[in-house]
Structures are given as C-alpha cells and as structure tokens.
Amino acid sequence: MSDVRLIPLGVGEAFTARNYTTCLALGLDDDWLLIECPHPIRKMLREASLASGVPLDLERVRGVALSHLHADHCSGLEDYGYYSYFALGRRALLAVHPLVEARLWDGLLAGGMGEVKLQGDPTPVRKQLVDFFDILPLSTATAVTVGPFSIECRPTVHSIPTTAFRVTVGGRMVAYSADTIFDLTLIDWLAAADLIVHEASDDDGSPVHTPYTRLAELPAPLRARMRLIHYSDAFDLAASVIEPLEQGRCYTL
C-alpha cells in the first residue's frame, strides 16, 4: 500500500510575516489535492518541494478543496485558474460548497478574470467562472470524489460561510477544521479521522477563531492525533501541548 503524505505549504494566520498562510497538500502516489489555495501558490509548492524532496507543482494537483473566501485561504485562485487555462490547457478543478461558491465569481474573481484581451484582439473577451474552473459542489449529506480523494464537508461557525473537511484517501482520513470558533460538535466530527488539523489562535477572546487554550484542554489521546495550523508568528511552538505543523515538512500517514 502506498503512503499517504501531507505537506503543509503554509501554516500561518492571515497577518503572518514569517510563514505562508494556511494551505495543505495531501497526496497519494502522484495524485495531489490542495486544501485551500492562497497566493503565491506556485512559489509555495516549489519551496515545499525543495524542503520535502517531493516533486510538487500545479500540473500534479487534481484539484483544490476550498473552505471559504477570506484572502488568506483563497487569494491564489486566480493564479490557479489562469495557469491551468493558459499553461496546462485545462480548467482548474475546485471543490467548494454552494454557499461559498455563490460569491466566488462576482465577489472575488471577476475583477481580474472577467475580461481577457490578448494581443491582436479588437475587444476584450468576456469570461465566466466555467471558462476557467470545473466546479465540484460539496455536500454536507454525501461525500464527493476527486481522483482517489473522497471529500466530506461540514459547516463551521465563522464570519462568512465556511466548511471543514474530512478527506479519505489510501485508507486514511485527514480532517481539517478550517476557520471556526471552538466547537465541540465540530471536534467530535473531526475526531473520526486518523489525523486532525485544527486552527489555533493566540486570542482567547476571538469571536471567529479557536483559542489554543481550549484545544489544550482536550483529552490527551485526542490531542495526540491533532496538529495545529493557522497560528500566529508569536505562537510559542515549543510550549504547545499539541504539535504545530511545520511548513514544508512531509508527514507520512
């Protein structure tokens, strides 16, 4: 059986000056799924490839699972769509819940991708989301598949529509909290996984993120299967009772 590999391309929160923002690459053999897609996604892939020794670039990526439309999670979608269209000659696959997709084009991408005027064109050509992306709607009722990856989603409590994920591949399951308040019902859902990747905030009073202190109170066997992401530059990595993910490191499940 082939190993399932997890490579954090970015581990930082929105205001990080030290790391890239949150993004994961999940792989089985030569198939890769990205969870989130911040900018600069190809540079993130290249640096993670050099750090881990695993060849990574967008042509190896089956698709992106996107949790929500905050820029620290989705600002690389224009690069992903354009590179797929112009360099790879294909549409980029994006797995996203309909509530998140509803604002994806008009609220995010249309300003940079809605018109394309190449040299020699007399007028710009109007484009739509489907010109660049194959949208795979996620459902809270059933899993959807992207190559060898089976993706389940669940809403989180955040400031805009957001979904957490459970991804099963190669007989292993990786769960990802996305951005969320501390929510024991969500943690119970994530706990079915072999590995749980959960966001952690330094701010104990954050109304939209999970305080690290609440995660640190969870039972030790659960914490042992949990890894932290979306942490600040000031987060004390050495003092954490839950292992923080390391950017560019390849984890084998």
Distance between CA 163 and CA 65 in Å, rounded? Answer: 10
Q: Which two tokens stand for residue 202?
A: 């330094």
Q: Which two tokens stand for residue 33?
A: 């799924």
If you search the block for the tokens 């109304």, which residue do you land on?
Answer: 207
Q: Which two tokens stand for residue 95?
A: 């797995």
pLDDT attached to residue 53: 97
**Three-class secondary structure assignment of 46-70:** HHHHHHHCCCCCHHHEEEEECCCCC
CATH of 4-250, one of 3.60.15.10, 3.20.20.70, 3.30.470.20, 3.20.20.140: 3.60.15.10
Q: How far is CA 158 from CA 7, 9, 107, 153, 161, in A?
A: 25, 23, 18, 15, 7
What is the DSSP track for the chain?
-PPEEEEEEE-B-TT-SSSPBSEEEEEETTEEEEE---SSHHHHHHHHHHHHS----GGGEEEEE-----HHHHTTHHHHHHIIIIISSSPEEEEE-HHHHTTTIIIIIHHHHSEE--TT-SSPEE--HHHHEEEEE--SSS-EEETTEEEEEEE--SSS--EEEEEEETTEEEEE--S----HHHHHHHTTSSEEEEE-BS-TT-SSS-BHHHHTTS-HHHHHTEEEESB-TT--TTT-SSEEP-TTPPEE-
pLDDT attached to residue 230: 98
- pTM of the prediction? 0.97
pLDDT attached to residue 121: 81
Rounded (5°) CA angle 125-129-133? 115
User: What count of other Cβ atoms lies within 10 Å of the Cβ of residue 176?
Assistant: 25
Distance between CA 120 and CA 99 in Å, rounded? Answer: 38
Distance between CA 183 and CA 218 in Å, rounded? Answer: 12
Sign of the alpha-carbon torsion through 157, 99, 179, 172: positive
Domain layout of the chain by residue ranges: 4-250
pLDDT attached to residue 119: 82
Q: What are phi and psi of 139, to 5 degrees?
A: -130, 140
Written as tens digits, the pLDDT of the chain (253 aa) is 689 999 999 999 999 999 999 999 999 999 999 999 999 999 999 999 999 999 999 999 999 999 999 999 999 999 999 999 999 999 999 999 999 999 999 999 999 999 988 888 889 999 999 999 999 999 999 999 999 999 999 999 999 999 999 999 999 999 999 999 999 999 999 999 999 999 999 999 899 999 999 999 999 999 999 999 999 999 999 999 999 999 999 999 9
pLDDT attached to residue 211: 98
pLDDT attached to residue 122: 87
